[in-house]
């Protein structure tokens, strides 16, 4: 083989077209009709007879409060730990605080396997139980594994399909980037978000797995609590066309705005002993704030049959209210533009990532004077109340770490009165194409923004 | 104005062409002939009568060792501090260590102003004295300012041209990204690297400033110690064409390889009290290792006339040997490919960045058995000895922090014997176009890789 034939195109030109073809198939896929998927999920749940019950933190098997620090740790020293976090972000009236935080320095894999059936790309999704999901079983990526998982620290069973991701031939990798998790609850956690094609290989679906088109996933994303967070975040970094029509701001204008936002945030964020965190108390209900705000750390015990181990207990973070995550959008010259927020979250590696226009738990802000509440919150709550959103569905956050952490995700159309083109400081307008270009790089879009992008990419939301 | 006319192209199509035109002008620019630039630098140095002398660390004005930690800090609490660093990178025989490190959490601006004269882009460069430069005065960006500098902590004079960068209209920003500094010596330091056009405005060159074309800068990059590190790093992230001919690995293949490298490095890096750092001693020569390896922390006192203040003293890091930073390259199908290294440096925010094939101080490795020395070092040292490099020049690292930190930068052509296409773990092949695409995003290429990319972009190195 000569050297010349070794060179390949830098970008696979047919991929956006193949993804668009998959997004167009909404009613039935190779394996299941879309309307039968929730029934299949319920059937899988029944067949495993999962039970999850609350347990006080000091009665979690293999977990204990470390002497000295008071950190909540697993006896293996692996998985994750709940530690303290001291944050100074210097923004607004709430720029200094301490809180419990999840510390898990290893990088996990969230991988979706793709394969063509009759010329249409399908994605291999898993019916996966996670103790924090309100309905326990949701659609997750083909593989969702921490390094502790797949290195089998708890001596459980092999992670099915894992080798498709750890040993993927480069030309079959369609997307692969490090993406952040919730910066408000995790300290610098990143996962590898992968989409890998199983070209030319027969890959039978295991009993808990199912091949679905992108369009089917789009239909399912219109329902509450069917597609889990890890699946949504992978679908939020698909290799969609980076180019496209014009935008209000050029690509470099958008990057420059974000660079300035990252540069102006002086952050001092560090881990601290959980026992020394101020403003939080520990009692039989867990670790919580006396004023009932934000979240508490609680414990669960799980009995199940198909997990890597047959039963375990663990801490979970339980938010104290339902969240909202909403993009205001406008069509400018026919091109939908989203109002993105340069959001500083304490746990982000790069201080600031692009977030939805509004992202908060409204209940936390009820007692705060109006001028200090998040900008644009009022417009979003009005859309929730009056049903005027273009897209609205509730999705729960990662059920392996968060208990009943439900967020209403929305797209709300805006006009010059609610959302002026001359956006306030910390906000700017970006097209879907621009966000897709950035998503391919990692650490640009936060997990809530990626969820909403997944809704557009899969056809769940039409802007 | 209608909404439609508000949309602009996402990418300015004429910019690569304008930069190429500027790179082609090598002999004389609007203001100076290239051959007269070093004379002009010498003249500027003479007119300011700078003196720099060594001072023991405990006799630096306004600097002291903090009680308790032993950290070397400025009395303002600003600028930078020398603290301790504990690093576990888990790679090879030297995966655990402690060292002094520079801690400077604020983001500085490195900005070059660009303007067309007779249809050719020129860059406004500054003759700037930095105490650590072997020849004191080198060409630096138009503006090179820490936030402490430009917020005038030391009550010095105004930073000339600063407003072109802090108040740049978005459509005049040509490049703007956060880029790392030396990860071996800085803890998570990033600077904003900006290229801004002064369109339609007369911008007179101040006495210490001079307009030069990209081609002139390329000629000057062939000389030792003329273009300073901050100028090189900005020239290493020019908005050059992201597309181009094929490559050995697709763009996503390259990104996926880097994602895997970042995911597999388990890093535990944290600041610690300088007084507790093991393996280092403090005496009248500064803070150093008894075995004489790596670097020492030393102090200087500066007298000068045109700096923001008229005299000051400060600590500097003084490496114990001259470094090498070299890319091996091969032409594949006519397209130059560089052998890039996924290099973990303790101070990097994202653990791993793309680095030259070889980057080390050879002296540090003389006493180490051959099998543990950096891969490809031997091929690079042979090229140094035998003069076979395609590009070879010595450049000093940031003279505001490093004393006589000289590195020989090289491009060395390789073949299948010295550098196989099937690169060893931790290495891969990438084209110049691919590296330019990544450079626009920040935290992808380390400062040494950006220096070498600047040499290609400016025409100093022809591959």
- Ordered by where they begin, the domains of chain A are 15-463 (3.90.79.40)
Nearest to A236 by CA among A284, A206, A193: A193
Specify which residues A123 forms β-bridges with.
Answer: A114, A212
- Which residue of B107, B173, B252 is in closest CB contact with A239? B252
In degrees and rounded to multiples of 5, residue A297 shows phi and psi of -100, 125
Q: How far apart are CA A394 and CA A402, in angstroms?
A: 15
What stretches of A171-322 adopt beta strand conformation (E)? 173-180, 186-187, 190-197, 209-213, 268-272, 281-283, 286-288, 295-303, 311-319
B421/A177 Cβ within 8 A: no
Chain A CB contacts of B442 under 8 Å are 259
β-pairing, A427-431 with B51-55? unpaired
Q: How far apart are CA A411 and CA A460, in angstroms?
A: 11
pLDDT at residue B13 in the model: 84
Question: What is the token pair recorded at B437?
Answer: 């695409």
Q: How far apart are CA A380 and CA A414, in angstroms?
A: 10
Neighbouring CB atoms inside 10 A of A156's CB total 14
Under DSSP, is residue A421 helix (H, G, I), strand (E, B) or coil? coil
Q: How far apart are CA A140 and CA A229, in angstroms?
A: 8
Chain A CB contacts of B170 under 8 Å are 249-250, 253, 256-257
Q: Decide if B163 touches A, using CB distance below 8 A.
A: no
Round to the nearest angstrom and report the end-to-end CA distance of chain B. 48
Nearest to A170 by CA among B299, B281, B430, B436: B430
Q: Which helix (DSSP H) or strand (DSSP E) does residue A16 occupy? A: helix A15-24
In degrees and rounded to multiples of 5, residue A72 shows phi and psi of -90, 115
Residues B447, B264 contacting (CB under 8 angstroms): no
Residue labelled with tokens 């640009």: A444
Confidence at A178, pLDDT banded by 50, 70, 90: very high
Q: How far apart are CA A257 and CA A249, in angstroms?
A: 10
Length of chain B as a residue count? 463
Q: How far apart are CA A223 and CA A460, in angstroms?
A: 9
- Which residue of B8, B170, B263 is in closest CB contact with A107? B263
State the SS3 of B5-56: HHCECCCCCCHHHHHHHHHHCCCECCCCEHHHHHHHHHHHHHHHCCEEEEEC
Q: How far apart are CA B84 and CA B75, in angstroms?
A: 18
Q: Decide if A8 touches B, using CB distance below 8 A.
A: yes
pLDDT tens, residue order, chain B (463 aa): 455 578 988 888 899 999 999 999 999 999 999 999 999 999 999 988 889 999 999 999 999 999 999 999 999 888 899 999 999 987 666 789 999 999 998 899 999 999 999 999 999 999 999 999 999 999 999 999 887 666 655 555 678 999 999 989 988 999 999 999 999 999 999 999 999 999 877 899 999 999 999 999 999 999 999 999 999 999 999 988 666 679 999 999 999 999 999 998 778 899 999 999 999 999 888 999 999 999 999 999 998 765 555 789 999 999 999 999 999 999 999 999 999 999 999 999 989 999 999 999 999 898 889 888 999 999 999 999 999 899 999 999 999 999 999 999 999 999 999 999 999 999 999 999 999 999 999 999 999 999 999 999 999 999 9
Question: What is the token pair recorded at A67?
Answer: 């002497």
Tell me which residues of chain B, numbers 371 to 400, contact chain A at a CB-CB cutoff of 8 Å: none
pLDDT digits 0-9 by tens, A428-461: 999 999 999 999 999 999 999 999 999 999 999 9
| Maximum C-alpha span of chain B | 71
B249/A170 Cβ within 8 A: yes
Specify which residues B299 forms β-bridges with.
Answer: B55, B315
Helix (H), strand (E) counts: chain B: 12, 24
Residues sharing a CB contact under 8 Å with residue B160, sequence separation 6 or more, in sequence order = B143, B206, B209
Question: What is the token pair recorded at A5?
Answer: 């034939």
Query: Which residue of chain A has the CA closest to B244?
Result: A10
Nearest to A258 by CA among A355, A356, A353, A358: A353
Separation in Å, CA of A27 to nearest CA in chain B: 31
Residues sharing a CB contact under 8 Å with residue B277, sequence separation 6 or more, in sequence order = B84, B85, B98, B99, B100
Residues B79, B102 contacting (CB under 8 angstroms): no
Q: How far apart are CA A373 and CA A364, in angstroms?
A: 10
Residues A412, A389 contacting (CB under 8 angstroms): yes
Residues B361, B406 contacting (CB under 8 angstroms): no
Q: How far apart are CA A192 and CA A352, in angstroms?
A: 19
pLDDT at residue A1 in the model: 45
Mean pLDDT, chain A, as a whole number?
92
Residues sharing a CB contact under 8 Å with residue A2, sequence separation 6 or more, in sequence order = none
Q: Decide if A332 touches B, using CB distance below 8 A.
A: yes
Q: Which stretches within B237-299 are classed as H helix?
A: 251-264
Q: Decide if B259 touches A, using CB distance below 8 A.
A: yes
Measured torsion, CA atoms of residues A344, A345, A347, A353, in degrees rounded to the nearest 10: -60
Query: DSSP code of A33?
Result: B
β-pairing, B335-344 with B323-332? antiparallel
Residue labelled with tokens 């890319």: B327
Chain B CB contacts of A347 under 8 Å are none
Neighbouring CB atoms inside 10 A of A243's CB total 12
pLDDT at residue B1 in the model: 44
Separation in Å, CA of B8 to nearest CA in chain A: 5
Residue labelled with tokens 């763009």: B251
Nearest to B77 by CA among B64, B58, B94: B64
Under DSSP, is residue A55 helix (H, G, I), strand (E, B) or coil? coil
Round to the nearest angstrom and report the end-to-end CA distance of chain A. 48
Residues B450, B179 contacting (CB under 8 angstroms): yes
Residues sharing a CB contact under 8 Å with residue B418, sequence separation 6 or more, in sequence order = B328, B376, B379
Q: How far apart are CA B133 and CA B130, in angstroms?
A: 6
A176/B6 Cβ within 8 A: no
In degrees and rounded to multiples of 5, residue B458 shows phi and psi of -95, -5
A214-232 mean pLDDT: 98
A310-327 mean pLDDT: 94
Q: How far apart are CA A191 and CA A193, in angstroms?
A: 6
pLDDT digits 0-9 by tens, B289-336: 999 999 999 999 998 765 555 789 999 999 999 999 999 999 999 999
Query: DSSP code of B186?
Result: B
Length of chain A as a residue count? 463
B333/A6 Cβ within 8 A: yes
Angle at which helices A251-264 and A432-439 pack, to 10 degrees?
60
pLDDT digits 0-9 by tens, A188-219: 999 999 999 998 778 999 999 999 999 999 99
Chain A CB contacts of B433 under 8 Å are 10
Tell which of B259, B264, B439, B444 to mutate to test the A interface (max A CBs under 10 Å).
Answer: B259
Specify which residues B111 forms β-bridges with.
Answer: B143, B194
In degrees and rounded to multiples of 5, residue B75 shows phi and psi of -65, -20
Under DSSP, is residue A46 helix (H, G, I), strand (E, B) or coil? helix
Between residues B105 and A74, which one has the greater pLDDT? A74
Q: Which helix (DSSP H) or strand (DSSP E) does residue A42 occupy? A: helix A37-48
A68-95 mean pLDDT: 88
Residues A230, A140 contacting (CB under 8 angstroms): yes
pLDDT digits 0-9 by tens, A103-124: 998 899 999 999 999 999 999 9
Q: Which helix (DSSP H) or strand (DSSP E) does residue A101 occupy? A: strand A96-103
B442/A333 Cβ within 8 A: no
Q: How far apart are CA A273 and CA B63, in angstroms?
A: 31
pLDDT over threshold 90, residue A245: no
Q: How far apart are CA A37 and CA A375, in angstroms?
A: 38
Q: Which stretches within A236-344 are classed as H helix?
A: 251-264
């Amino acid at each position: 083989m000569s050297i010349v034939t070794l060179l390949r195109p830098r970008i696979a030109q047919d991929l956006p077209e193949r993804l668009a073809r998959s997004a167009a198939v909404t009613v039935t896929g190779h394996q299941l009709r879309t309307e039968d998927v929730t029934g299949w999920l319920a059937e899988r749940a029944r067949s495993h007879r999962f039970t999850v019950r609350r347990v006080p933190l000091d009665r979690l098997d293999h977990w204990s409060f470390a002497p000295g620090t008071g950190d909540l740790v697993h006896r293996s020293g692996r998985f994750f730990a709940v530690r303290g976090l001291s944050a100074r972000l210097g923004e607004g009236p709430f720029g200094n605080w301490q809180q419990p935080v999840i510390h898990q320095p290893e990088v996990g894999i969230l991988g979706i396997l793709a394969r063509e059936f009759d010329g249409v790309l399908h994605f291999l999704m898993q019916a996966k139980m996670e103790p924090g999901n309100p309905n326990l079983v949701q659609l997750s990526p083909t593989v969702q594994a921490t390094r502790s998982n797949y290195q089998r620290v708890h001596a459980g069973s092999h992670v099915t399909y894992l080798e498709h991701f750890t040993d993927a031939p480069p030309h079959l990798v369609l997307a692969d980037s490090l993406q952040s998790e919730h910066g408000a609850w995790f300290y610098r956690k990143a996962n590898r978000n992968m989409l890998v094609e199983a070209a030319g290989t027969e890959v039978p679906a295991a009993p808990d797995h199912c091949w679905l088109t992108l369009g089917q996933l789009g239909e399912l994303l219109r329902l509450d609590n069917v597609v889990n967070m890890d699946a949504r975040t992978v679908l939020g970094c698909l290799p969609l066309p980076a180019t496209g029509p014009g935008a209000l701001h050029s690509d470099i204008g958008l990057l420059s705005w974000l660079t300035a936002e990252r540069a102006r945030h002086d952050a001092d964020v560090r881990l601290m002993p959980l026992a020394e965190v101020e403003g939080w108390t520990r009692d039989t209900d867990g670790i919580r704030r006396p004023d009932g705000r934000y979240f508490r750390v609680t414990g669960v015990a799980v009995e199940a049959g198909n997990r890597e181990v047959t039963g375990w207990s663990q801490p979970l973070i339980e938010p104290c209210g339902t969240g909202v995550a909403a993009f205001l959008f406008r069509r400018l010259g026919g091109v939908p533009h989203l109002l993105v927020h340069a959001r500083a979250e304490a746990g982000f590696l790069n201080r600031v990532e692009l977030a939805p226009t509004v992202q908060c738990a409204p209940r936390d802000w009820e007692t705060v004077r109006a001028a200090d509440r998040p900008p644009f919150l009022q417009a979003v709550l009005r859309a929730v109340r009056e049903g005027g959103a273009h897209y609205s569905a509730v999705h729960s956050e990662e059920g392996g770490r968060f208990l009943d952490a439900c967020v209403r995700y929305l797209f709300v159309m805006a006009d010059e009165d609610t959302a002026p083109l001359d956006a306030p400081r910390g906000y700017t307008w970006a097209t879907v194409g621009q966000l897709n270009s950035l998503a391919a790089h990692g650490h640009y879009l936060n997990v809530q923004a990626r969820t909403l992008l997944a809704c557009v990419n899969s056809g769940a939301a039409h802007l």
